[in-house]
Structure 1
Amino acid sequence: MILSDKTILDYIKSSKIIVEPFDESSLQCSSLDLRLSNSIAFYEELDIIDIKSPIQAKTVTFEEYFIINPGEFLLASTMEYIKLPEFITAFVEGRSSLGRLGLFIENAGWVDAGFEGQITLELYNANKYPIKLYKGMRICQLVFAKLDEIPSKVYRGKYLCQKGATPSKIFMDFDKK
């Protein structure tokens, strides 16, 4: 069941869902708009990405805005730090107004029950023009859904409590026994 604005607000006010900082004007009828932080990361020139090895990414912060060039892929982060209870999951959806400019947001847009942290966004500019993005702008929407029952496992993965634009840690999948 997708949560309505009333339920989202009730869960935030009762601390069942944590959103810091919370801006009530970001609440939509069935979602919560999240804002762009000042943290971005990108992969520098590589011959090949070996997913079994740690991948170096350059993380930078910006003051007011950054420009994503045509055909460029980078990671960004939400300003908000989210904490979901064990009975709520969420979907990250790009804003349609940005999609209409050719900005693809959130290739991996699932937030598991129990997740805590800032949400890393995957951004790709499919337009033939550079796009200027501003710190604090509404960048995506979080749609909350209630699980039919408490899961046997909640999220305790490698991105738990992440802050800022967090590069891939897929290499850690190969360390599992």
Structure 2
Amino acid sequence: MSIISKEKINNSLTSKAENSLTITPILDSEKQIGESTIDLRLGTKFEVDMRTRKPFFDPLSDKRPIETFFQDTYRNFGEKFILYPQQLVLASTFEYVKLPDDLFGIVFTRSSWNRLGLNISSVLQSGYAGVINLELVNNSSNPIALYPGLRIVQLILFSVDGEKREAYYRDSISKYVANSDPDLSSISEDEDLQVLKNKFPINS
């Protein structure tokens, strides 16, 4: 597995082939596409976790939808969103990303944001299509002002070695496919949890 260079990124982005890399919209290719990374911007929708009367979320026995633990809010370009210390907020990239069958991606926080206490990491399987979910957590002691449209993460692409295979995301029953907004956790749908639920009694 090798890192895709700037030249290969640009060639794939401009390719007319059906199975090619798509990242759109790229507002400033000179700033966003580096020698081996692609900067992606913060989107406009946020899912903010909030306290409820229930003491915790239980993926095995909780019958309430997970949406009840989050509140959505929007910010336009130029408007700030305040991320408080130890707060969890789900956001997404402004860009839509589609990976071809032979590329695999890793997402990291840009260094400048990382140094403020914002840590983001994620994996994109071959064939992924949609905006990229960003799990925002402020690990510092001070609130951080975030602005939609600012470059917040870097995408690193790797070529997948071996025989050509069908894309995992495109042809699987993955829970997270073709997202257009921040996508809440689907942990309750995990097969492991259903096995535990069927084989063992649940203690309230």
Residues matched between the structures, number: 175
- Alignment partner of 1:103: what SS? coil
- Larger strand proportion of the pair: 1
**Most deviating of 120-129 and 14-23:** 14-23
What amino acid is aligned across from residue 167 of structure 1 in structure 2?
L
Give % identity: 33
- Larger helix proportion of the pair: 2
Residues 44, 58 of structure 1: 8 Å contact kept:
yes
Residues 35, 78 of structure 1: 8 Å contact kept:
yes
Quote the residue 2:108 is aligned against: 93
**Residue 168 of structure 2: which of 154, 160, 166 is its match?**
154
After superposition, residues 159-170 of structure 1 pair within 5 angstroms as 159-170=176-187
- Rg larger in 1 or in 2? 2
After superposition, residues 51-90 of structure 1 pair within 5 angstroms as 51-52=59-60, 53=62, 54-56=65-67, 57-63=70-76, 64-90=79-105
Q: Check if 1:112 corresponds to 2:116.
A: no
Q: Check if 1:50 corresponds to 2:58.
A: yes
Q: Check if 1:137 corresponds to 2:154.
A: no
Question: Which ranges in structure 1 are unaligned for 5 or more consecutive residues?
Answer: none
Distance 1:117 1:9 in 2: 19
Distance 2:123 2:165 in 1: 16
After superposition, residues 32-43 of structure 1 pair within 5 angstroms as 32-43=38-49
TM value normalised by structure 2 = 0.80
Q: Could you list the per-position Cα deviations for residues 100-137 of structure 1 after superposition, in whole angstroms to 9, with x for gaps in the alignment? A: 1111123xx10000100000101111111110001100
What amino acid is aligned across from residue 179 of structure 2 in structure 1?
Q
TM value normalised by structure 1 = 0.92
